[in-house]
Structure formats: structure tokens, C-alpha cells
A = this chain, B = another copy of it.
Amino acid sequence: MPATPTPPPTTTPQTRIRPARVTMQDVARAAQVSQTTVSFVLNDRAQASIPQETRDRIWQAVTTLGYRPNAMARALRQGTSNLIGFVTDEIATTPFAGQIVRGAQDVAWQHRRILMMINTDHQSDLEQEALGALLQHQVDGIILAAMAHKAVTLPPLLEGFPVVLVNAYSEDDRVPAVVPDERRGGLEATAHLLARGHRHIGVVDNLDASMAATLRIDGHLQALTDAGITPDPTLIARVNGWQEAGFDGAMQLLRRPDRPTALFCLNDRGAMGAYEAARELGLHIPEDLSIIGFDNQEVIAAHLRPTLTTMQLPHHEMGRRGTLALLGTEPLPRGRTLLHCPLVERASVARPTAPRR
């Protein structure tokens, strides 16, 4: 945001067009129902008990008359805005934000709430402003969502305000937080390869020692130990980036004389690069090399050739659970609640065969 924001235009061609004030009584008269019924339908209370035909007639009247019930006035009376603030640090680059938003909104809708969304773009000054604005609009609570699983410092402005962290947590675990169980994900990904008979497994870590990477690798090492295999640190290729890094990391591992029979790529983009490395070396997936990813980023995982077996990041579920907690429907304890990252089995993992020479 520029240092000196453009002041809002006082009026605009469009905003001058304003429907005439029409009362709820006018709507009730036009729809031949009681004001109470109109109020029920518009506020969507006890909806089931009002026949569809009546509801249609009321919406029809609302439309025809251009009735605009005033939610703000009601909010001032009721002391609740029926708004939930949703603040995300990133929305434009992955579909993950969208999945969290959708999970949050699915719940919000069921509870007749609307999300007031702000994307802070990783700028803390913008976050400060965003939160101030949401509080000014009397949101009932705020969801703070991070696109990459991380620890955040709770902004002082939110002291004592209902907040749930999604895909993020506060170091001191002061507020409820929903995060993916990365460690268990890494453990189960590796356990899946072990169950298929792989013993010599390489890891492509293209996540630059991020929280997610550290935990996923912890889980991986745990799974090996549980299986009585002594982890070999040189089987973890540390690279940093997306597909290109996955390619480089996979190349390091696949060129070893003792080539791994399977690769655990810490995310699907890295796995996509590993597919390219396998091709470069004439290795067929899964016959010559099994690959498992992490994230289940649909555009990649579901459409690679062969399709990618991977662990699902629970973005939709995190948005859902976070919102249910904020609304008090399914309260969460302070601190982290770990959500399972289920295995999504596709076609990139098979039993190891004698490597072609």
C-alpha cells in the first residue's frame, strides 16, 4: 500500500444510484405474510418450518421492492455483527488459501456468518491496519491464517479478543491453533514406502529447513527407526526451491551407486522435479523408482504421469475446525491441535524391483 493512500471519492456515478427506503412491513404486505415471517426468512431462522413457496414469495417481494434490511442497525442492537474476520498472509499464489477460506466459509455460512477477508501479503504494518479495521467493524472473532505452517506473534491489538490461528500457532500457545500433523505425515509417508518393501529411501528436502520440512523429516526418521533401519543422513538431499530444486535433489540421490528405490519428496512441486530427474536417467516410475510427495496440490499430484501418491495437507479441514472453534461450536483448547494429513494413494509407488543397469 502506498504511503499516502488516495482518499475515497465522496460520491461516484454508481454509488449515487440508491434504492428508495422500503420497510419490512412493505415486504410483508406484498408477500401477504406477517412481518415476523419476513424477518424469519431474511434472518434465515427456523427456515425449515417455512414452506419454500412462501420463502420464494418473500424474496420475490424483497427483489421487486428493492428492500434493504439494515444489518448494521441490527448488529448495534444485538451487539453482534455476525461477521468473522479472516486475515491471511498470502492468497494469490497457491490454491491452499482458497481451501482454507472455503473450509472457514462452509462453517460460517451454516452459522449465518460472513467472512470479512483481508490479505496482508506478509506486511506486518498492513496486518496492524487490517486488524484495526476488522475490530472497528465489530467482527465477532478473527481467524489468522498462514499459508506456510509457522509460529506467529499474536498482535497486541488482539489481546483478549476471540482469535483462532490456522496453519500457524503462537510460541506461548496462548490461543487455540489448528495445524497439520506434519511429523505424523512424514512418518506415514515413509511407513507407506516401507510397507511396499522399500528399505533404501531417499528424501528430497526442497523446503529449506522450514517448520514443515523439519517435522516431516522427524517423522521420516522415526518411521525408519521403528522399522529397525539406521537412518543414513546422506540419503537426505537438501536443496531449496520448487520443481528445479526437486530435480537437483533427486539427481544427487539417483546418481548414487547405491541408488534409492524410493524417494520421499517433501512437497509435490519437488516431486514433479523428481519425475523429470527420473526421466533424464531413464528410470520408470513406479517400476524403477517409487516417489511419494506431500501437500496433494491437485493441479500437480492428480495429473502427473503417473499420478502422484502423496499426503494431503488438511487446508479445508483447518479452515473448518478453526471457524467451528471461533464460533464456540467445537471449542479448541489453547495451543496447537494437530490435524491428520491422510495418505492419498495414486500410481507412483510400487514394490522395488532389481534396478536396471
Show the binding face of A for B, using Cβ within 8 Å.
1-9, 11-15, 17, 19, 42, 44-45, 47-48, 59, 62-63, 66, 68-73, 75-76, 80-83, 86, 91-95, 97-99, 101-102, 105-106, 109-119, 121, 126, 128-129, 132-138, 140-141, 156-157, 159-162, 242-244, 247, 269, 272-273, 276, 279, 297-300, 303-305, 316, 325-329, 331
Contacts and interface: CB of A to CB of B under 8 A. Distances in A.
Given A68-B138, A92-B99, 8 more contacts: A5-B111, A72-B81, A91-B101, A117-B117, A243-B303, A272-B303, A273-B303, A300-B300
A71 B101 contact: no
Contacts of A327: 8-9, 12
A62 B110 contact: no
A110 B2 contact: yes
A203 B45 CA distance: 53
Contacts of A156: 63
Contacts of A59: 128, 132, 157
A92 B95 contact: yes
B66 A17 contact: no
B81 A132 contact: no
Nearest to A71: B136
B157 A62 contact: yes
B9 A70 contact: no
Given A276-B305, A331-B13, A137 B99 contact: no
11 contacts: A13-B328, A19-B161, A42-B136, A44-B129, A59-B128, A68-B135, A70-B76, A94-B95, A97-B98, A105-B119, A114-B118
Q: Which of A279, A299, A327 has the most CB of B within 10 A?
A: A299
A266 to B, nearest CB: 16
B105 A328 contact: no
Contacts of A14: 141, 162, 325-326, 328, 331
A115 B118 contact: yes
Main SS class of interface, A? mixed
Q: Which of A63, A99, A242 has the most CB of B within 10 A?
A: A63
Nearest to A79: B18
A254 to B, nearest CB: 16
Contacts of A101: 91-92, 117, 119
Given A161-B19, A303-B272, A136 B9 contact: no
A298 B126 CA distance: 25
Contact of A162 (B17, B112, B138): B17
Complex A-B, nearest 5 residue pairs according to Cβ-Cβ distance, in ascending order: A12-B328, A14-B162, A71-B136, A243-B303, A91-B98
A4 B111 CA distance: 10
Nearest to A101: B91
A92 B80 CA distance: 28
A44 B5 contact: yes
A110 B3 CA distance: 9
Contacts of A134: 114
A83 to B, nearest CB: 8
